[in-house]
A and B are shown apart, each in its own frame.
Chain A
Amino acid sequence: MRVSLDGPDGWARGWIGKGQRAPVRLRRQQGGGGVLVWAGIIKDELVGPFRVEDGVKLNSQSYCQFLEDTFFKQWYRKKSASFKKNMIFMQDNAPSHASKYSTAWLARKGIKEEKLMTWPPYCPGTTSEQAGKSAPCQGCPNQKLCASGATKAPDPAIAEIGEKLSTVKHKILVLSGKGGVGKSTFSAHLAHALASDTTKEIALLDVDICGPSIPRIVGLEGEQVHQSGSGWSPVYVEDNLAVMSIGFLLSSPDDAVIWRGPKKNGIIKQFLRDVDWGELDYLIVDTPPGTSDEHLSIVQYLSATHVDGAIIITTPQEVSLQDVRKEIRFCQKVKMPIIGVVENMSGFVCPKCKNTSQIFPPSTGGAEKMCADLKLPLLGKVPLDPRIARSCDEGRSFLSEVPDSPAAEAYQKIVKTIQDYCSNRVTEEQSTI
């Protein structure tokens, strides 16, 4: 554990040994320092902290020697045999901890097999839905505690959101493992297509906190949200198409949202709980690429509601599919149904000679093969069309601008499949009542 002595104001603080004088400290201009300490926690006891001597780099040998001089000699030795029998030693996978040398050294001390726990790489987190229940939890000393639910105080917002969104008939997430594949473009145009039926109420929620593209794509850049007694009002593209994005909360297009996970989670919670969506037929959620805070939060906060499923966007090449498979695994892990996969940027027809080029080559069979292998529906393939980028830049619906283009036709077919999926789900539910 490395402890920084630098305060955020640039002043350095430290510990002074007994009888020593405080050295002169200048406010640092740059650089900084750290103190390396080792500490352990068992039950309600704190072991250490023990400071690593300055200048000592912890490789396997020095790590083991350090443990010998501090943990073993000063603490472990004093414990009873029955305590030692039940104690499990847990360390993270730092190279000096996990090396063959250290593992063998600890084994000689009797710390081996079930008494030596490495950091579970796929720990779902003590507050997650899967805490204590997933495969990596097997053997973890906290498993029973996590599984009992004691570690996670249920966030009251989850129930509130469940209540708030009970008037939303269908919820769809748009995901991808990879960036730049056209998620936001797809989400926006899905929303436009669904809203073309003016009897339906549609909403588009953009939870890409760092790169909120939706306002521009739907032509609402520069708009701001208003607060009323019933919460935040979303911004309307059409009478029946509402949009919410952090983009509407930023005062300048240059503003960067430099937030860590917890703060991003907070705004997502607010978007779901505090926006006055009203009665909706469809809520579409556009996400950033990846499988991280935003995705976990959305799934967590929507856990008290029913989500129809996720649409996964990819481009044809393996570099994309590689990440998309991870996204599919994520959905499976959190039990999110997958409505299907859309292969975007699937071929380009030259406007002059009409020949097709595979700019992003499906070298491993594209989404078609991936879907066949994973038994997922391929909702459709959308070709590259320069007019899509232009429409998005100008904030207009590509489906209205060039409705007869192959790309627009592909989109419309995909949208129809999604609508059928959602209505079939309703029919199934009604027939089981």
Chain B
Amino acid sequence: MAVGILDVDLCGPSIPRMLSMGRPDVHQCDSGWVPVYTDTQKSLALMSIGFLLEDPDEAVVWRGPKKNALIGQFVSDVAWGELDVLLVDTPPGTSDEHLAVLENLKKHRVDGAILVTTPQAVSTGDVRREITFCKKTGVRILGIVENMSGFVCPHCSECSNVFSKGGGEELAKTTGSVFLGCVPLDPLLSASIEEGRDFTQSFPDSATFSAISSISQTLLNSLQTD
């Protein structure tokens, strides 16, 4: 399967580090910018502003119109090639980036959105607004993921609900959305992301891995039945 990730978080582009991409140059070809591939088989492609910054600590202090312009270029001028799935990672909110991405993807089909929340009400309170955003812009909600859902102490296996519990599932129920599942807080996952290692390769037996696998399988099924 060929997957692309488009990171439109222009102020805080995290994906390059999480996939251990370093800071390669972005090349241009006749059809546009060439995305950066994580592997030689080109199964995972990525485009992020992180690759375009000379200094990784440099702040991108742009107002909306300039962000819109770059996002437009990311959508239209990147030579993604043949992809099975294009994932778009967005910053928090319901503003310029989200509108720009949808406007530029208008001529292509947007299958839907996955909404990620943490369990507590302060989080789901904002995600309710994101649900309204999707409804207003005609984006189908593929489902809700409750992240950071419980922490199992590696020393004694006691489960602590660090950020409360159940908010994501309740949100899905009250808004009539599909609940995709819970992903627990896992220091091994955080460590893998920090080091840019593929958690799914390193810890295939963990509960976190099963949670993530089950969510992705549900998503793939719902995409395929369209």
A residues neighboring B (CB under 8 Å): 31-32, 57, 59-61, 92, 94-96, 98-99, 121-122, 124-125, 177-180, 184-185, 209-211, 213, 216-217, 221, 253-262, 264, 288-293, 295-296, 317-319, 322-323, 325-330, 333, 348, 350-353, 355, 357-361, 363-364, 384, 386, 389-390, 392-393
CA of A418 to CA of B187, assembled, Å: 31
> A326 to B121, Cβ gap below 8 A?
no
> A261 to B64, Cβ gap below 8 A?
yes
Task: Give chain B's interface residue range (CB within 8 Å of chain A).
Answer: 35 or more
> A178 to B12, Cβ gap below 8 A?
yes
Main secondary structure of the interface of A (DSSP, over half): loop
Given contacts A348-B151, A359-B190, A390-B164, contact A179 B92 (CB under 8 A): yes
> A210 to B93, Cβ gap below 8 A?
yes
B:108-160 near A, CB below 8 Å:
118, 120-122, 125-126, 128-133, 136-137, 151, 153-156, 158, 160
Name B55's closest neighbour in chain A (CB-CB): A329
Which residues of chain A are near B77, meaning CB under 8 Å? 94-95
B69 close to A (CB within 8 Å): yes
Given contacts A256-B129, A358-B187, contact A350 B156 (CB under 8 A): yes
Which residues of chain B are near A217, meaning CB under 8 Å? 122
> B158 to A211, Cβ gap below 8 A?
no
Q: Distance in Å from the Cβ of B171 to the closest Cβ of chain A?
A: 11
With most chain A CB atoms within 10 A of its CB, the pick from B60, B61, B92, B187 is B61
Contact of A389 among B64, B154, B162 (CB under 8 A): B162
> B60 to A216, Cβ gap below 8 A?
no
Q: Distance in Å from the Cβ of B21 to the closest Cβ of chain A?
A: 13
B residues neighboring A (CB under 8 Å): 11-12, 14, 17-18, 28, 30-33, 52, 56-65, 67, 69, 73, 77, 91-96, 98-99, 106-107, 118, 120-122, 125-126, 128-133, 136-137, 151, 153-156, 158, 160-164, 185, 187, 190-191, 193-195
> A210 to B129, Cβ gap below 8 A?
yes
CA of A280 to CA of B69, assembled, Å: 41
CA of A350 to CA of B163, assembled, Å: 14
> B194 to A293, Cβ gap below 8 A?
no
Which residues of chain B are near A323, meaning CB under 8 Å? 11-12, 14
Name B185's closest neighbour in chain A (CB-CB): A359
CA of A363 to CA of B20, assembled, Å: 14
Name A319's closest neighbour in chain B (CB-CB): B14
Name A217's closest neighbour in chain B (CB-CB): B122
18 A-B contacts, Cβ less than 8 Å apart?
A57-B31, A60-B30, A92-B69, A122-B61, A179-B12, A210-B126, A213-B125, A216-B125, A254-B128, A256-B136, A260-B99, A293-B96, A327-B59, A348-B162, A359-B190, A363-B195, A386-B160, A390-B164
> B58 to A386, Cβ gap below 8 A?
no
Name A292's closest neighbour in chain B (CB-CB): B11
Q: Distance in Å from the Cβ of B143 to the closest Cβ of chain A?
A: 18
> B120 to A393, Cβ gap below 8 A?
yes
CA of A292 to CA of B95, assembled, Å: 11
CA of A389 to CA of B185, assembled, Å: 15
CA of A383 to CA of B99, assembled, Å: 36
10 more contacts with CB within 8 A, not counting A95-B28, A389-B162, A393-B164, are: A99-B28, A125-B63, A213-B125, A261-B95, A293-B63, A318-B194, A329-B59, A350-B160, A390-B164, A392-B121
> A329 to B160, Cβ gap below 8 A?
no
Q: Distance in Å from the Cβ of A325 to the closest Cβ of chain B?
A: 4
Q: Distance in Å from the Cβ of B206 to the closest Cβ of chain A?
A: 15
Which residues of chain B are near A213, meaning CB under 8 Å? 122, 125-126
Q: Distance in Å from the Cβ of A365 to the closest Cβ of chain B?
A: 12
> B96 to A260, Cβ gap below 8 A?
yes
> B91 to A179, Cβ gap below 8 A?
yes
Q: Distance in Å from the Cβ of B18 to the closest Cβ of chain A?
A: 7
Q: Distance in Å from the Cβ of B89 to the closest Cβ of chain A?
A: 12
> A292 to B194, Cβ gap below 8 A?
no
CA of A211 to CA of B129, assembled, Å: 8
> A319 to B17, Cβ gap below 8 A?
yes
Name A288's closest neighbour in chain B (CB-CB): B93
> A254 to B131, Cβ gap below 8 A?
yes
Name A209's closest neighbour in chain B (CB-CB): B95
Q: Distance in Å from the Cβ of A133 to the closest Cβ of chain B?
A: 14
Given contacts A258-B95, A353-B155, A359-B187, contact A393 B58 (CB under 8 A): no
> B95 to A259, Cβ gap below 8 A?
yes
